[in-house]
Structure 1
Amino acid sequence: MELVEGVATVGGERFPDTDAFVDRLTDIGVEYGVTVQAFDARYIVGERHLARAMRLADRERDRGDAIARNRAVEILLYAAGRRQIRRALDLGVSEGETPAVVLVASEGATGNEPGASEAVTRLLDAQPTLGDYDPERVRAFFDIGAAEAEATDATLADLVLERIALLVIE
């Protein structure tokens, strides 16, 4: 798994809408034999967030218990800790300038992660975005109230990782 960081600009000549941006990511995935999924970095609490989402999504797919048919969507669902695709899409890139982190992952030894990552980098204004999440946005999205946060010594990142793990049980 490789993560590409930068600002995605959607709504201009290059990518008139989010569908155009997502279609280009899909094309890169097909070309390099990898899964490519973009996230709004303001919701992603760190590399472990996406690594765990991918690991859980792949495990459920291997067991035949996937929620979605598409691996990228399955990873998105786990990263969001939700079964509803519409709600999980809030974690994706939207119109305008979005600080993004893009996951690039092969499913085996055949994918070219470095090549795909380089291609994705060319779509973004490269700059660090991972770890620069918005705590209030994260708490609201993952439904982590003040009482829950105060009742534990766990960090916000730990609570998000717990939410992701609970999706398997739901």
Structure 2
Amino acid sequence: MELLECTLVIDDLDEFVAALGELGDRHGVTVQAFDSRYVADRRHLERAVELADRAIDRGENVARDRAVEILLYAAGRRQIDRALEMGVDEGETQAVVLVDGDGDERAALEAVEDLTAFHGRTETLGSRDDETLCDFFGVPDAERAATDAGLAALVRERVALLEVEK
């Protein structure tokens, strides 16, 4: 799995999503873009990929598309409409683009950088907004106070719980 932390400026979301799909097909990988405000850390996305692949292997996936299944797990939600909140939108977004698969991940990342929506590499995972993450993943203050686990671990727990809640 490769991650590209960057700024995206998207004029047409449908066109951008289609371009990511074409890049993935061309390079034999899955490409998914996330609004970085909803990504706790790298391990969060690694776990989402692991669980999405396991669901697909078992025939338990909700989405037909692997990129959407990864998004569902990353968001900790089974409803595609609610999970899409974690994706990118039109306008400027601090993003994390995930590229994963057996194909040429590096070439796919370079191709993402050639898209007109790409506006430069930017560290996006290092500046996490805890309040946004807590709101999105439903992590109350009381839960945070009751554990030594960090917020990223609690978010990863929400991702893993999606398996149990099926």
User: Given the two structures, how large is their TM-score scaled by the length of structure 1?
Assistant: 0.92
Q: Secondary structure at the match of 1:61?
A: helix
1:26-72 Cα offsets, whole Å, 9 max, x none, are 11011111100000011101110100000010011111111111100
1:113-133 Cα offsets, whole Å, 9 max, x none, are 110011112332222112322
1:76 aligns with 2:71: yes
| Aligned-pair identity (%) | 57
Unmatched tracts of structure 2, length 5 or more? none
Q: Secondary structure at the match of 1:133?
A: coil
Unmatched tracts of structure 1, length 5 or more? 12-16
Which of residues 149, 156, 160 is equivalent to 1:154?
A: 149
| Higher share of residues assigned helix | 2
Which residue pairs with 2:21 in the alignment? 26
1:119 aligns with 2:105: no
1:95 aligns with 2:99: no
Report the RMSD for the aligned CA atoms in angstroms: 0.9
1:168 aligns with 2:160: no
Provide the rounded CA distance (Å) in 1 between the counterparts of 2:52 and 2:149.
24
User: Given the two structures, how large is their TM-score scaled by the length of structure 2?
Assistant: 0.94
Which of residues 116, 137, 142 is equivalent to 2:137?
A: 142
Which residue pairs with 1:50 in the alignment? 45
